[in-house]
Structure 1
């Protein structure tokens, strides 16, 4: 039985991870030196009703740019927000639903 991900007849590459991390400037719990110079985008959890076009939200495991925002009423009378995203179908959520948002002013 062979190891998963190893092709038959291919040489195996052995990586000394502690040494590789030291070369890349990676310290446990921090970002590599190349990324440390870039500021992390400001991310907050906000109610869906406060999201504006141009911001990005986290949905379906990825960040999506918000193109349009509109509000609609549920049949039960509650308020919902419909977010038109750069990819995929519009996202309809209750107005008070907390969403991860970045691209804040």
Structure 2
């Protein structure tokens, strides 16, 4: 009889203990589930934000590429035009020649006969 009472008291202690442990485990599982859902939501939000940022960066890159192409075209045109301009040395030579040539000081043939 003592053994039966000892067995019953042991079983009596085990059942509430196991119920408490089961509740603790269920509680932890629910918390983990909530955390996992929150992490999933955050992951989706981050993915959407990153996709939007990536799309914006691609648009900016396209704009920059077009601007660079226009700039390169302008520079090629400008460098082609620069070769058509006279150098400073050439202008100095022409200036000296113009100073040496004074058309107003030339005498006409009619003026020589007089």
TM-score interval for Structure 1 and Structure 2 normalised by the shorter chain: under 0.3
Flag the structure with higher helix content: 2
Higher RCO (Cα < 8 Å, 6 or more apart): 1
Tell me the TM-score normalized by structure 1. Answer: 0.19
Structure number with the higher strand fraction is: 1
Q: TM-score, normalised on structure 2?
A: 0.18
